[in-house]
């Protein structure tokens, strides 16, 4: 089975992020959930964004890279929103990546100074009318056009962190479909050779 590093969103390592990880574990995968906020969680996106801004978004990404350092290289990197930044950076720049699951966000590939690695499959998941993802939609479409094995899944609705069952924005139906697709994705990358 696949090994996954799952980075949390701007509200921290919430029970919902842990529950999502547990769903992947129940399917037989090993999932690491680094805490980039040192145990802090936030009740709103605004509070979390304010904290992340104080720490520095670059520092948050760097914490993600450091957290992955002692872990095996042949993993799938996954992230919710803010967590998609270190996930995407590692998938693009760290040798051995088996894949990337980017949920609720996607960064322009050029942000990390390299083309998307040809042998690294990627999925991007977001709601089609999510106002936060509206800024990322162009980057997601460009990534799908560039990468050899990439998919963009848009779900009906306008919720941002819909896959976190501990938040009011949770959408159970969309989460179930995202989880099914993620489990299938992890099963498909398990047998591949790392890049």
Residue 194 has pLDDT above 70, yes or no: no
pTM over 0.85: yes
Residue 193's pLDDT band (boundaries 50, 70, 90)? low
Mean pLDDT of all residues in 153-164: 98
CATH of domain 3-190: 3.40.50.1820
Quick check: helix, strand or coil at residue 154? Answer: strand
Burial class of residue 53, CB neighbours in 10 A (0-12, 13-18, 19+): exposed
pLDDT of residue 114: 74
The enclosing H or E element of 89 equals helix 84-93
d(CA 25, CA 78) in angstroms, rounded, equals 14
Residue-wise pLDDT tens digits, 110-157: 999 878 998 899 999 999 999 999 989 999 999 999 999 999 999 999
* Mean pLDDT (the chain, rounded): 94
% of the chain at pLDDT higher than 90: 91
Residue-wise pLDDT tens digits, 168-178: 999 999 999 99
d(CA 150, CA 120) in angstroms, rounded, equals 9
Residue 140 and residue 107 in contact, taking contact as beta carbons nearer than 8 Å: no
Poorest-confidence range of 13-17, 87-91, 186-190?
A: 186-190
The domains of the chain are located at 3-190
Residue 1's pLDDT band (boundaries 50, 70, 90)? confident
């Amino acid at each position: 089975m696949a090994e996954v590093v799952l980075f949390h969103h701007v509200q921290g390592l919430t029970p919902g992020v842990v529950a999502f990880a547990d769903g992947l574990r129940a399917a037989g995968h090993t999932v690491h959930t680094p805490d980039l906020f040192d145990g802090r969680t936030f009740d709103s996106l605004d509070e979390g964004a304010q904290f992340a801004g104080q720490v520095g978004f670059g520092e948050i990404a760097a914490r993600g890279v450091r957290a992955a350092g002692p872990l095996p290289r042949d993993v799938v990197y996954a992230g919710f929103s803010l967590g998609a930044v270190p996930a995407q950076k590692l998938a693009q720049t760290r040798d051995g990546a088996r894949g990337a699951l980017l949920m609720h966000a996607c960064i322009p590939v050029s942000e990390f100074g390299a083309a998307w690695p040809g042998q690294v499959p990627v999925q991007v998941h977001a709601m089609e009318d999510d106002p936060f993802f509206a800024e990322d939609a162009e980057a997601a479409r460009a990534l799908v056009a560039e990468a050899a094995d990439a998919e963009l899944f848009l779900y009906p609705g306008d919720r941002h962190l819909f896959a976190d069952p501990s938040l009011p924005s949770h959408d159970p139906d969309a989460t179930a479909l995202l989880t099914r697709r993620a489990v299938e994705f992890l099963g498909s990358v398990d047998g591949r050779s790392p890049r």
